[in-house]
Amino acid sequence: MATRITLIPGDGIGPEVTSAARLVAEATGVSFEWEVVEAGAKAIASSGTPLPPEVLDSIRKNRLALKGPITTPIGSGFRSVNVAIRQELDLFASVRPARAIAGEGTRFPETDLIVVREATEGLYSGVEHWVDRDHTAAETVNIVTRKASDRIIRFAFEWARREHRRRVTAVHKANIMKTTGGLFQTAFRALAAQYPQMASDERLIDNMCMQLAKKPGEYDLLVTTNLFGDVLSDLCAGLAGGLGVAPGALYGEQIAVFEPVHGSAPKYAGQDRADPVAEILCVELLLRHLGKTEAADRVFRAVWETIAEKKVVTYDLALPGYTQRPVPPSSCSAMAREIARKVPLVDLDRPLPRPVAADGSVGMDRNLME
Ligand code: NAD
């Protein structure tokens, strides 16, 4: 039976990258029935709101969505569609893997991080106001609850256990934000004690950024509050090769929504230039969520081999990377076709090739990193 899934093409480069992802999803042989709904700037033109009720209804019904990036025009009076979707559907866990693929687009081929971010409260709760009539002072409320902290931290430990990760690191700023940060820290310590088999530690957010910039290979799974998670996941995406290759997923108790870390990149809209890999790797995460492990492995392997070959890659991966080999850039659709062509052909028993740098040094063996 076909899996019914809501598809939100989104704005800017969204329609191009979601078409690419759909092509690759269909190449796996897993049967999908796509229910296409519009949200974002495009929906304002057609429905007068960036989040028409049928979007949430469709996701609630299907419990699954593949989403392109969305633009919420600043100053339009509408609240962020992305924040609204997370809050309305109680998608409390944002999971963003940052994996260097074939060593391209990064100076850190050993990067293999996961950022698990609380996605419903913190500084993104939407509670803010002007303090005075002249708008010379403003306040944003940082809401942190024990319930939401426990839920995200338990989710992180369970994810780490299931995915055979080595260590869970809590990231906070409890030394300065003693109540909100302190509450998150207390929740982490209590839950870490329930997972004695899993290594765990803590970093202050500022130190974490410095450590990641120096030695990302030393870290594994990071769990944190909303704003820190937003910032850290872009940092980790940059370490792993850029926004073009960074997928993400949002999980609630019953619903999962898959979306790339990147935004709608309006300057590339309609040019068939954007990197489709982030959205395609969302399909890999979706397949894993559905328990279609072999199909998910095929998608990841096809992406890896396409990037490693460096024959059909978009502009961001065509630059001199770890292999120091610039190539002419291909289009978004050409790269998607190449990945889709490889999906049924890849040999899953062959170890992933290790990236070799121009100086002859060899990148991290991903097969040994699990
Ligand atoms: P962005 O991620 O859209 O783009 C930043 C830069 O990253 C681009 O100019 C481009 O150089 C590069 N980039 C991003 N995606 C790429 C891809 N697939 N391939 C190649 N290069 C890529 O961030 P922004 O410019 O800050 O935001 C643009 C719009 O997107 C804003 O309206 C913002 O609100 C929205 N946004 C939406 C989401 C979402 O829907 N989840 C997330 C972030 C930003």
Does the annotation count 230 as an active-site position? Answer: yes
For residue 216 and ligand 1, the question of a CB distance below 6 A is answered with no
Could you read off the pLDDT of 132-169 as tens digits, one per residue? 999 999 999 999 999 999 999 999 999 999 999 999 99
Residue 264 Cα, ligand 1 centroid: separation in angstroms?
A: 5
Report pLDDT for 370: 32
Q: Which range has the worst mean pLDDT, 84-88, 118-122, 200-204, 335-339? A: 84-88
Q: Whose CA is nearest to atom 23 of ligand 1?
A: 263
Domain residue ranges of the chain, discontinuous segments joined by +:
1-107+241-370, 125-226
For residue 174 and ligand 1, the question of a CB distance below 6 A is answered with no
Could you read off the pLDDT of 12-30 as tens digits, one per residue? 999 999 999 999 999 999 9
Third-level CATH fold of 1-107+241-370: Isopropylmalate Dehydrogenase (3.40.718)
For residue 274 and ligand 1, the question of a CB distance below 6 A is answered with yes
What atom of ligand 1 comes closest to residue 279's alpha carbon? 18
Above 70 in pLDDT, residue 366? no
Residue 265 Cα, ligand 1 centroid: separation in angstroms?
A: 4
Could you read off the pLDDT of 45-99 as tens digits, one per residue? 888 889 999 999 999 999 999 999 998 777 666 778 888 898 899 999 999 999 9
Above 50 in pLDDT, residue 328? yes
Contact present, 93 and 251 (Cβ < 8 Å):
yes
Report pLDDT for 356: 59
* The token pair that represents 212 in the structure block: 């990641």
Q: Tell me, what amino acid is at 212? A: L
Residue 70 Cα, ligand 1 centroid: separation in angstroms?
A: 9
